Amino acid sequence: MSEVVERWGSRRAFIIAVTGAAVGLGNIWRFPWMTGENGGAAFLMLYVVFLVLLGLPVMIAEIMIGRAGRRTPIQALTHLARDAGKSRHWGWLGLFCGVTLFFILSFYSVVSGWSIEYLVDALSGHFASQSPQEIGSAFDAFLASPGRVLFNHTLFLFLTMSVVALGVGGGLERLNNLLMPLLYLLLVLLVGYAFTTSGFTAALAWLFMPDLSALTPMAIFNAMGHAFFTLAVGAGALMTYGAYMPDDQSLPRAVVTVAILDVAVALMAGIAIFSIVFSQNMAPDSGPGLMFVTLPIAFADLPGGALWLGAFFVLLLLATWTSSINLAEPMVAMLGSLGMARWLAAVLIGVGVWLMGLPSALSFSIWSDVRPFGDMTLFDLATTLPIDIMLPIGGLLIAFFAAWVMEGTRASMAIGAGERFYRHWRAVVRWVSIPLLVVVLVGFFLS
């Protein structure tokens, strides 16, 4: 495949597009869940450390590879490795990224399906008359019903793969970019509401006053995986964005802006959700249902709550819809480069992802007792494997490629922030990010 020649129209366009890939379920659903499960502020602190030492440097590495290669991941890696006189087997890293995207999309689609259910429930005024306890048990009852969960998973995946098959992702992305500020606005509104609740101070203490005894090996491991997941780093998705990045744009400035926005969205969601947790005397470690149980309670309290909650889920779904298109697109492109028709590739990937989503979808009902490793449910496995294991391994290899394999001058030009910055970045990746990643991964496998 030849080099791509199109470029993003402006510097802002690149930042908005990457923010679109970064902001999604990771910020609003998984961040509060993980923070609640791993002791609050201690987790947040670790996550920020990993974001700075691993997330940002590897994000630069990943976009840089795309920008220097100006091709899809497999081809960019093969091409850059060959130009540097290194093994063309580096192309396999692109395939590994594709497998990671496949696993991520499988549970992403199931959870986005939960949002479809909640959108319909919200608009039908279902939550308005319910007590917090009823809202909590309604979520469990929904998850325990395989038919409803599967229906929504199927619907969401169908919507995603149709857009990919028809190749109209660009239009949807523009709509997403246009509407995302509204999602941020709703979050600001929620934080304003949180301020009026009795749990607000407790939420701030929970999020910002670390209890270092909460730093378990699992917390460290989850925080590292989450730093990759939330920035959409480690699965090659951002290489594609890099391929369209204008030559004169500074990469570090762009990624720092994206990371700040990404953390801001997560923090707003966290403040809103934990204020409700503490004012309702709920447990912060209520698992993956945390967002789905707390937000309806918050909105039920506001005038016109059903509509606001509906609007929230519409915007969240739009965000997850575009994120999942970003997850699916590179896989379909990869099959396409083998000569397969686009629609056929989309159907095959869609069917594969649907099947792969079954363990997540049924983990809370008919397969709730299936626990192959310790007490982890199938849902825990389906999220932990790609997020906490595959993304960091992919990130490690991407970082290694960018800092040790690629030609220095090419890499330096692709960063677009001068030779000095490139040297600093390379030193950080070589002597901080890569060793840290290896230590945490090895430590986890040994523990």
Footprint on this chain of ligand PHE (rule: CB under 6 A): 21-22, 24-27, 104, 229-230, 232, 235, 237, 323, 326-327
Least distance (Å) between residue 105 CB and ligand PHE? 9
Question: Beta-carbon neighbour count of residue 131 at 10 Å?
Answer: 11
What is the full DSSP assignment across 244-294? T--TT--HHHHHHHHHHHHHHHHHHHHHHHHHHHHHTT--TT-GGGHHHHH
Least distance (Å) between residue 108 CB and ligand PHE? 7
Token representation of residue 304:
């016109």
Q: What is the CA radius of gyration of the chain?
A: 21
Closest CA to 35 of 295, 268, 223: 223
Q: Are 10 and 252 in contact (CB under 8 A)?
A: no
Nearer to ligand PHE, 325 or 378 (CB): 325
Least distance (Å) between residue 390 CB and ligand PHE? 10
Nearer to ligand PHE, 38 or 100 (CB): 100
For residue 295, report the phi and psi dihedrals to the nearest 5 degrees.
-65, -40
Least distance (Å) between residue 101 CB and ligand PHE? 7
126, with CB counted inside 10 A (0-12, 13-18, 19+), is: middle
Nearer to ligand PHE, 105 or 282 (CB): 105
Q: Are 38 and 290 in contact (CB under 8 A)?
A: no
Please list, in sequence order, all residues whose beta carbon lies within 8 angstroms of the beta carbon of residue 7, skipping any fewer than 6 positions away: 244, 245, 246, 247
Nearer to ligand PHE, 138 or 233 (CB): 233
Least distance (Å) between residue 235 CB and ligand PHE? 5
CB-based closest residue to ligand PHE? 26
Least distance (Å) between residue 153 CB and ligand PHE? 17
Nearer to ligand PHE, 60 or 306 (CB): 60
Nearer to ligand PHE, 193 or 229 (CB): 229
Closest CA to 288 of 93, 6, 31, 116: 31
Least distance (Å) between residue 130 CB and ligand PHE? 28
Nearer to ligand PHE, 206 or 229 (CB): 229
Closest CA to 59 of 108, 15, 101: 15
First to last CA, the chain: 44
